[in-house]
Structure 1
Amino acid sequence: MKRLIEKGLMFGNLVRVTSPILVERYNRALRHLTGKQTTLDDFHIDISGFSPEIGAELGDELYLNQRGVNRQFILLTTEQKTAPLLNAKFSTSRGILKQFITENEPQLFALTTKDAVAGELVNSVFSVESPAKLFDIRRITVEADTTARTVATAAELGKLIDRFKAEDNAWYDDVLIAQMIGLAKQTGDVVRNPVNLSRMSFDQQNFWTAHFGGIYIFRGVDEPAAIAAGDKAALGPLPIESTFDLRDRTEIAIFLEVNGLAEPIVKARGVDGGAILHQKMDFVVAELAARMGENLSGATRRDLRALGRRYADQLPEEYQGLAALARWVEDGGPWPRITSEHPAYFYTLRAADVPDADLVNMLLAQLSPLDIRQLFICHKEAFYAAYSSWPDEKRAYVADFLDREYQVDKAGTRAALFGHEAPMEEPQNEPKTPAADMIDLVGPWGAVRRR
């Protein structure tokens, strides 16, 4: 993993903590949440305040996420909102933390000038002993305050001020006035500078969890389902309509289609489908070349095309299917018949313009693991697990490629691959081409049929 770390592809964009004042505040918050503290005076933290260095020091990678649920967090600065979330157990956690910081940024900025803000993503489940317990997670609420309870104290002071204004004889109530003065010394003028944090809650209908080998749960769709990365039989009975695992390719294809969750890359508006297909083909060639012991360090697309010609008779079905679709898109080649059982099938899809597009792209990335760029962007946990098993030739190529072609323009790459343009009105009297009619009818693979 050293190569990834050096290129900023792992542990990248973390916030460095070196100031003795911030270290002391972090320890105060850490003791407040867990009863532990660090002896380090220089470390990095993610959006939740988790530090990989402190995790190694304590011998506990889940010191802010006991049992993998109800994630706790420590905010030293609002700059943490751009940091990644390490060791994520739920796909929604980073989005919740980022939205909480963004919504409360002025208040958090003021609070963190004097103290750390500590909190928790709270739900009614404290542990998940069985997969079925995951379905009890319905809503996440963010609870947060400084270690000195500034927000709670300000709320108490606000109530006393309201009482002071409402009671006729409040000017003569020395005890009430003394209480107000005492609390005001801790919070400042809450009338001119209110100290409060929005109490935010988030419904958890659709999400991925790392528990039990990885499970995608889709409840907020027309035909709900759970999709396991491992053996679905090991999950036991689940309180949901359908349960699949990644081997159930046709069932997953039907699930995506009936719920309108995915679309063909070649049909997506504003996307160069041919270029994306060719890039995916390059990734397949790189996989084969690495297994053949080829040196891929600094390999260009021209180099990969040459390698593709050299090993043409050994290229897998993923390549053949993508190449056939690319020929149809660019050269008017014959219509490719790519069924849901074809290894190239899920490589031809991306998430539709739906609220859970990130979750769908995450699932598609795991179903098309040779597309190393999508795997890295959409499913970091699966990417790092796969990277550790690759031959060094492939690791070198992947790290160089991501550093050279993704790191330089992350937002642009994501927009090109997964962005959705507003639909344009079709000219009323302009006939569609036979190709467009075919895509509208069956997509690039042929109609998906239920078994």
Structure 2
Amino acid sequence: MKRLIQRGLMFGNLIRVDSPALIERYNRALKGISGKQTKLKEFHIDVSGFSPEIGEEFKDPLYLNPNGCNRQFIILTVDQKKAPLLGAMFSTSRGILRQFIADNEAKLFALTAHDAVAGELMNSVYDISDPARLFDIRKIVIEADTTQSHVKNARALAEKIDHFQTAPNAWYDDDLIAQMIDLARETGDVTKVPVDLGVQEFEQGNFWTAHFGGLYIFRDVESPCVVVSGDKDRMERFPRLPFVDTTEPNRIASFLRKNDLVEPLVKERGASGARILRQKMEFILVDAATSAGMELGDMSSRTLRHVAQRMGRDLPQAFHGLAALVRWAEAGGQWPRIDSRHPAYFYTLRARPDHPDRDLINRLLSELAPMDFRQLFICHKELFYASYATWPDEKREFVAEFLHRDYMANKAGARDKLFGGREDPLKVPSTTRKRTREQVIEMVGPWGAVKGR
């Protein structure tokens, strides 16, 4: 993993904590949450305040996430919203934490100037030993406060101020005034600088969880389903929802089509998506070549073409399928028949750009097309890191260098090209005259007209 760390592809954007004051605040919060304290003089934290160094010190990677179902967090700075979430057990957790920080940024900025803020992503489930418990998770509630109860005291002060301003003769209540003064010493002027974080709720509809080897739970779609990455024998006890295994591409493809969750990367001839398919071909080629023990030379596109020529008939079917699709898109070649039985099928798809669960769908697609290491890195880092550890050394060098050079240099641009923004549907002429099959393909592409959004 050293290559990834050196290039900022692993543990990147973590927040460095080396100030004695910040460490003391962190320890106060950690003591209140777990009863433990760190002896480290320097460490790094993610968006939740989890530190891999402290996890190693405690020999407990779940010291802020007991049982993996109610993640606790410690906020030392609002800059944590830019950090990743390490060891995510649910695909929604990072988004919820970032949203919480963004929604309360001014209040958190004021609070963290003097203390750490600690809280928890709470749901009604405290044990997920049974898969059925996952269906009890519908709503995530966040309550947070500083270690010195600034939020609780601010709420109490606000109530007393309201009573002071509205109750008869409150102006003459010396005890009430004294209490208000004492609380104000702790909280400051809450009328000018509100610090009450309140109680925030977040819906958790469709999500991925690392539990039970990996599950994609789609329940807020027209035809609900659970996609199982791990041991599907344990899924027999799932209530209500049918399940499908990731080794059943036909059934997964049917589920994606029924719910209109995906679209083709290349929808018409000459589309820019063909360039993305060419890159996917290189990724597949690198996987096949390094698995066969072949050297990649300088790893340039030209050298890789020579590698492909040497491999010839030993190239994977997924490579040939994408090559045929590129020929159709760029050179007017014959329309390739690529359905869910073809190894290239899931490499040709992406989530609908306007779908609210776009990231979740692309995460699933990355697992179904694992040789596309770039999408795996972007959408499913847990699986990427696990896979990276098993790859030949030459492939690891190629992957680390490609991601560093081509992706990290322009992450936003790369994501936009790969996963798209909101697009207008293809304009199909409304004439009713009969067309030949070739004319229809020329007009709307091999998958047919794109459905309305």
Equivalent-residue separation in structure 2 for 1:232 and 1:380 (angstroms): 22
Equivalent-residue separation in structure 2 for 1:51 and 1:318 (angstroms): 40
Range that drifts further, 307-316 or 168-177: 168-177
Paired residue type of 2:399: V
Q: Is the 8 A contact 1:225 1:240 kept in 2?
A: no
Aligned twin of 1:306: 306
Query: Per the alignment, in what secondary structure is the counterpart of residue 12 of structure 1?
Result: coil
Distance change in 2, residues 1:354/1:241 (3 Å): same
Matched, 1:355 2:363: no
Query: Per the alignment, in what secondary structure is the counterpart of residue 244 of structure 2?
Result: strand
Which sections of structure 1, spanning at least 5 residues, go unmatched?
444-451
How far off is 1:339 after superposition? 1.7
Aligned twin of 2:257: 257
Equivalent-residue separation in structure 1 for 2:110 and 2:371 (angstroms): 46
String of CA shifts for 1:220-264, please: whole Å, max 9, x gaps.
Answer: 100000001023222222123320010111111011111110001
Range that drifts further, 248-257 or 288-297: 288-297
Aligned twin of 1:145: 145
How far off is 1:425 after superposition? 7.5
Equivalent-residue separation in structure 1 for 2:308 and 2:428 (angstroms): 42
Aligned twin of 1:381: 382
Aligned residues: 443
Aligned twin of 1:420: 421
Equivalent-residue separation in structure 1 for 2:297 and 2:122 (angstroms): 46
Paired residue type of 1:403: H
Aligned twin of 1:226: 226
Range that drifts further, 433-442 or 42-51: 433-442
Query: Per the alignment, in what secondary structure is the counterpart of residue 236 of structure 1?
Result: helix
Equivalent-residue separation in structure 2 for 1:53 and 1:201 (angstroms): 31
Q: Is the 8 A contact 1:223 1:241 kept in 2?
A: no
Paired residue type of 1:178: A
Identity of aligned residues (%): 56
Equivalent-residue separation in structure 1 for 2:280 and 2:341 (angstroms): 18
How far off is 1:297 after superposition? 6.5
Q: Is the 8 A contact 1:158 1:190 kept in 2?
A: yes
Distance change in 2, residues 1:280/1:19 (3 Å): same
Counterparts of residues 280-299 of structure 1 (less than 5 Å): 280-296=280-296, 298-299=298-299
How far off is 1:269 after superposition? 11
Q: Is the 8 A contact 2:119 2:144 kept in 1?
A: yes
- Structure 1's consecutive aligned runs of 4 or more residues displaced over 4 angstroms after TM superposition are 268-271, 427-433
Aligned twin of 1:333: 333
How far off is 1:165 after superposition? 1.2
Q: Is the 8 A contact 1:218 1:225 kept in 2?
A: yes
String of CA shifts for 1:197-221, please: whole Å, max 9, x gaps.
Answer: 1422111110000000000000110
Q: Is the 8 A contact 1:271 1:416 kept in 2?
A: no
Aligned twin of 1:105: 105
Equivalent-residue separation in structure 1 for 2:258 and 2:270 (angstroms): 24
String of CA shifts for 1:93-129, please: whole Å, max 9, x gaps.
Answer: 0000000111111111111110001010000001101
Q: Is the 8 A contact 1:104 1:198 kept in 2?
A: no
Query: Per the alignment, in what secondary structure is the counterpart of residue 439 of structure 1?
Result: coil
Equivalent-residue separation in structure 2 for 1:30 and 1:108 (angstroms): 18
How far off is 1:271 after superposition? 6.1
Query: Per the alignment, in what secondary structure is the counterpart of residue 223 of structure 1?
Result: coil
How far off is 1:442 after superposition? 7.8
How far off is 1:147 after superposition? 0.7
Counterparts of residues 7-46 of structure 1 (less than 5 Å): 7-46=7-46
Query: Per the alignment, in what secondary structure is the counterpart of residue 226 of structure 1?
Result: strand
Distance change in 2, residues 1:39/1:321 (3 Å): same
Query: Per the alignment, in what secondary structure is the counterpart of residue 141 of structure 1?
Result: strand
How far off is 1:429 after superposition? 6.6
Paired residue type of 1:391: P
Distance change in 2, residues 1:433/1:338 (3 Å): closer
How far off is 1:80 after superposition? 0.5
Paired residue type of 1:381: E
Equivalent-residue separation in structure 1 for 2:426 and 2:243 (angstroms): 39
Paired residue type of 1:441: G
How far off is 1:372 after superposition? 0.6
Q: Is the 8 A contact 2:267 2:444 kept in 1?
A: no
Aligned twin of 2:74: 74
Q: Is the 8 A contact 1:296 1:396 kept in 2?
A: no
Output the TM-score relative to the length of structure 1: 0.95
How far off is 1:370 after superposition? 0.3
String of CA shifts for 1:22-65, please: whole Å, max 9, x gaps.
Answer: 11111111001111110001110000000000000000000000
Distance change in 2, residues 1:246/1:30 (3 Å): same
Matched, 1:135 2:138: no
Q: Is the 8 A contact 2:115 2:146 kept in 1?
A: yes
Matched, 1:209 2:216: no
String of CA shifts for 1:64-85, please: whole Å, max 9, x gaps.
Answer: 0000011000000001101000
Output the TM-score relative to the length of structure 2: 0.94
String of CA shifts for 1:258-286, please: whole Å, max 9, x gaps.
Answer: 11100010028996111011111101110
